Amino acid sequence: MVAPLEGIRVIEVANWLAAPSAAALMADLGADVVKVENPVGDPWHSFMMASRKPDFDSDVDVDAPYELDNRGKRGVALSLEAPGGSDVVKRMIAEADIFITNLTAPRIARYDLSWESLKEVNPRLIYVVLTGYGTRGPDNAMMAFDHSAFWGRSGIMSLMGDPDGSPMPCRPGQGDHTTSLNLLSGTLAALRLRDLSDEGQYVEVTLQRTGVWTIGADIAPSLILQDQPSRIDRVMPGNPLFNHYETADGRWLMLIMPTPDRHWIPTCRAMGQADWMQDDRFSTLMGRREHTAELTGAMREVFSSKTLAEWTPLLNAEALTWAPVAELPEVIHDPQMEAMNAWTEIDGPEGPFRTLNTPFDIAGADVGPRGPAPKTGQHTHEVLQELGLSDDELADLAASGALG
């Protein structure tokens, strides 16, 4: 089988999650991805594992989040601040197909790595830049993470949480990994456009715009109505069949039936409430909306009478659209995830470990992780020798502090 990006060279000058995880997906697709990082290393190294290790006992010594976002790459340790460092990166980019970075605008200018500069040395380059808010506008130099730009400033957090409570906090990396898919799709489209035009392309993706896109169902009407949608009220939902309920064992299940007229009778049967079918308050969609507090309260009481395991066959028997609010140990052992090839195994230097597979399949193509993430600077000399740097040049760079 052929890898879709076989023969494509990617130079990554980025850290943390969003841009590196997009480059990792390119490596899964067969690209030769070279990660250029400061000799002190990407700050994402061990960031999450260090915070979780006190909570579990494991003999597996793997920096799992970093591995996920950097697998299959080659690693070069190079200081762009040191004399000659930026020049070496430009030599690498001159022979590459894609350059991906999350450097801020001031640093891009300081290292002479702008689109205008690099297209002079590589007219067919795909230049991909990720920022929090964009390279234009009043906040183009503002630092950002997904918590601030994707969740906070995009408006997502204002819509999440109980109506009278604080905004719901987000989990690490959700906005970054969503944005990485946006980065990947933009890059692949630019590659196709280069095939058609034989010209390099500029791709820009921001955390904030990606966040806004994810809540497009809310944003699109707000552009017209200039309003703020209300948060979803679990006690008084507009549709009680589009809500989550707690079960007798403290678990939760999510009903999602946006066309409740069709599902109302099967729901009554599944819940063992035949009398609800004849109740004038609930027999019509408008009636259920008018009496949503009463119906939701009754449904909460009924759902709390059985465990999640007891509800599962009853809801499935009526072919209702629902799902358990799964906990992560259940997710990683979910037979459906296994059937869809969601997990894979990588042979790392400390032994094999289980991780997430590429989040999509392409029939007949060689897609998947190529190997573990590189150690900081693991392939520095290998990559630079491929560029034609002599031993003397490598020695000079090392003496200047450019090489890690």
CA separation for the pair 328, 132 (Å, rounded)? 29
For residue 317, count other CB atoms closer than 10 A to its CB. 11
Residues 199 and 105 in one domain: yes
Structural domain of 252? 242-326
- Boundary of a domain, candidates 326, 359, 377: 326
Task: Go through the chain and tell me how many residues it has.
Answer: 404
H/E element holding 88? helix 85-94
Among the listed residues 207, 222, 206, 211, the one whose alpha carbon sits nearest the alpha carbon of residue 156 = 211
Between 85-94 and 391-400, two packed helices, what is the crossing angle to 10 degrees? 140
H/E element holding 203? strand 201-206
Q: What is the pLDDT of residue 51?
A: 61
Residues 38 and 147 in one domain: yes
- Boundary of a domain, candidates 277, 297, 326: 326
Among the listed residues 180, 278, 165, 157, the one whose alpha carbon sits nearest the alpha carbon of residue 228 = 157
Residues 210 and 89 in one domain: yes
Q: What is the pLDDT of residue 58?
A: 55
Distances in whole angstroms, Cα of residue 342 to Cα of each of 157, 190, 242, 338, 371: 29, 28, 28, 6, 17
Q: Are 75 and 45 in contact (CB under 8 A)?
A: no
CA separation for the pair 312, 22 (Å, rounded)? 37
Residues 57 and 159 in one domain: yes
Residues 177 and 285 in one domain: no
- Computed over its alpha carbons, how large is the radius of gyration of the chain? 26
CA separation for the pair 274, 175 (Å, rounded)? 44
CA separation for the pair 307, 245 (Å, rounded)? 11
| CATH for 38 | 3.40.50.10540
Q: How many domains does the chain have?
A: 2
Q: What is the pLDDT of residue 112?
A: 95
33 falls within a domain? yes
Q: What is the pLDDT of residue 60?
A: 62
Residues 198 and 54 in one domain: yes
Instruction: Give residue 210's Cα distance to chain centre.
Output: 11
Q: What does 138-179 look like in DSSP terms, one character per residue? A: TTTT----IIIIIIITTSHHHHSS-TTSPPPPPPTTHHHHHH
| CATH for 259 | 3.30.1540.10
Q: Are 62 and 349 in contact (CB under 8 A)?
A: no
Q: Which residues of 252-290 are buried (b: 16+ CB within 10 A; e: fewer)?
A: ebebebeebeebbeebbbbbeeeebeebeebeeeeebee
- Boundary of a domain, candidates 272, 292, 326: 326
pLDDT in tens, the chain (404 residues): 899 999 999 999 999 999 999 999 999 999 999 999 999 889 888 777 666 555 555 566 789 999 999 999 999 999 999 999 999 999 999 999 999 999 988 899 999 999 999 999 999 999 999 999 999 999 988 899 999 999 999 999 999 988 988 998 889 899 999 999 999 999 999 999 999 999 999 999 999 999 999 999 999 999 999 999 999 889 999 899 999 999 999 999 999 998 778 899 999 999 999 999 999 999 888 899 999 999 999 999 999 999 999 999 999 999 999 999 999 999 999 999 999 999 999 999 889 999 999 999 999 999 999 999 999 999 999 999 999 999 999 999 999 999 97
Residues 310 and 360 in one domain: no
For residue 307, count other CB atoms closer than 10 A to its CB. 13
Q: What is the pLDDT of residue 103?
A: 93
